[in-house]
Copies of this chain bind each other. A is one copy, B any other.
């Protein structure tokens, strides 16, 4: 980021982003060409995700919320891998058609979530430029691993006999989106609409618990069913899920009640849930669940790892065919 003090553009960028460094030494006050990170003797988990206007958000969305969504997409991945954020880098392509002052709003949303949800994570650097087109922002989030392996909790570590569990509830993001699109009754889905507008991952305190207990984990982003199959594939095992156990909110329960199997399948292939899907040794699940509950985080066992390959579904003990689409495949 440029430091030229005569240049009003550079001044705006300094004003917007320099406070987000939280005084971290390795940011050099965003006034040099690079940043410097230390990883201690271990190493760092890295994730990098984008939000693109027209693809991940609407041009009319509040710009501070767009920035928060960017942080949360990345944070959700980091929590699922047992990481605690230590540094962030931002690439921003700001539309020529948007007021430049919007950068301040964007930065304030970004800073609020980096300092809050991410646990005092400094912005160390990045690049801001202009685009003759839609807004594009990419965040790189680095995190300290908490797992005893010293690395991220991967997709591939689940073992036969493991319990499969998920935190929070599934399907609110999808229901909220349908309501926002006018396809479902908005009045009956106010909490879902709120979640779809401002989704959030579980509390950061969950990350060290995942690091301590999980065999395998990934963030449910493209649909519970699709992501469960990915975990099964990566681990070289089979997974059986009991659809009646999939945790849903009160609003979602009312929606599901009219056709339990078909509608649970819809929710379980919707995606954007921001919840970790986790495989545990059976003996560890209880300890994890009670420690998570103590943090106010709901944990629900929804299935099992079994011999074989792929994903199998049941409802109250009866087999259910896989739907044609398991999730959001991009």
Contact = CB atoms under 8 A, between A and B. Distances in A.
B39 A37 contact: yes
A132 interface: yes
Chain A binding surface SS class: mixed
Nearest to A3: B230
A91 B36 contact: no
A125 B81 CA distance: 15
Interface of A: 2-7, 9-10, 26, 28, 31-50, 52-56, 77-78, 80-81, 83, 89-91, 93, 124-127, 129-134, 136, 138, 140, 145, 151-152, 154-156, 218-219, 222, 226, 230, 233-234, 329-330
User: Quick one: copies of this chain in the complex?
Assistant: 2
A56 to B, nearest CB: 7
Contacts of A219: 33
Nearest to A28: B154
A91 B154 contact: no
A298 to B, nearest CB: 22
Contact of A136 (B28, B40, B131): B131
A127 B48 contact: yes
